[in-house]
Structure 1
Amino acid sequence: MSNEPSITALISALEEQRYQAMQSNDLENIQRLLHPELSYVHSSGKVDNRDSFMKNLRDGLSIYHRIQHVVHKVHQSGDTAMVFGEMVADITSHGVAKTIQNRTLNVWLRTGMNWQLFAYQPTPIATRSSSLPACGE
């Protein structure tokens, strides 16, 4: 199924809303955008469901100071949209400040009229000074 431009724009806007909400610790909007059966994999390999992810944010265990993200491609099939992109963030995780740089695969599901993030899978990448090409190069 080919993507309609409106789906790409909608999902890209939802990605922007989610990252903005994470950066501003807007818990209400974050929860609204997350599917009840969320599987959120962190760069460390740790996996959270929606409840444990939200608890980490509420308790200040995961703090997102700066997030930059790029959506490279959105592919829709029925009520599922897959987002291929990159994300760089300055975070504090369990008291440790770090910068993460990941290629990402995000899966959004449509339930009724709403889209929610169902799965997040990052893959850490080496810094741009490495021999690895940027996504799409």
Structure 2
Amino acid sequence: MKYLLTIVMLSCLHVAVAQTKDEAAVGRAVESLRKAMIAADKAELSRLTAEKLSYGHSSGKVEDKAAFIQSLVSGQSDFVTIDLTDQTIAVTGGTAIVRHTLSAKSNDGGKPGTVHLHIMLAWSKEGGQWKLAGRQAVKIPQQ
């Protein structure tokens, strides 16, 4: 009986952490965005973002799609590394909300730095592809 109970509990745990197809697709899109931001890959950044992107920085600055991409491509915003942790993905219909913690090394305009942020991403499904529609960052208070 104890063995059976263990199997049932493990099965329930597996179901609880299993991702839907859309959640997995959004996770892949987030990873593609992370890599494209590090590489400053203009074509990939354009492919992954919605035309009406609203990209909010922790400073309060908000960029549209063109400004977001130009900032990365020009080196004004330069990510050397980006590590994402504590990620959650919630999909409802054609919208996905992703939350995670971002820790990065940057070299903005040639000036080395570090970034620690809580991020919320809003993704929309357009033509079967997930596109970043909105992003907002909040600085993590230093303790």
With structure 2 as the length reference, what TM-score do the two structures score? 0.81
What are the ranges of 5 or more consecutive residues in structure 2 without an aligned counterpart? Answer: 1-17
Measure the CA separation in 2 of the matches of 1:4 and 1:24: 28
Where does structure 1 lack aligned partners over 5 or more consecutive residues? 131-137
> Structure 1 stretches (4+) deviating beyond 4 angstroms?
none
- Name the Cα RMSD after superposition: 1.6
Q: Pairwise mapping of residues 59-98 of structure 1 onto structure 2 (< 5 A)?
A: 59-70=74-85, 72-98=87-113
Structure (1 or 2) with the greater helix fraction: 2
1:56 partnered with 2:71 = yes
Q: Deviations over 1:60-113 (max 9, x none)?
A: 211110100125211111111000111111112344322111111000001121
The count of aligned residue pairs is 126
Q: Greater Rg, structure 1 or structure 2?
A: 2
Counterparts of 1:104 and 1:25 in 2: how far apart (Å)? 19
Distance 2:95 2:83 in 1: 24
Specify the alignment match of 1:119 in structure 2: 134
**Given that residues 41 and 73 in structure 2 are in contact (C-alpha distance below 8 angstroms), is that contact kept between their aligned partners in structure 1?**
no
For residue 25 of structure 2, what is the aligned residue in structure 1?
10
CA distance in 1, matches of 2:111, 2:49: 25
Q: Which amino acid aligns with 2:114?
A: T
Q: Report the AA paired with residue 120 of structure 1.
A: R
**Paired residue type of 2:23:** T
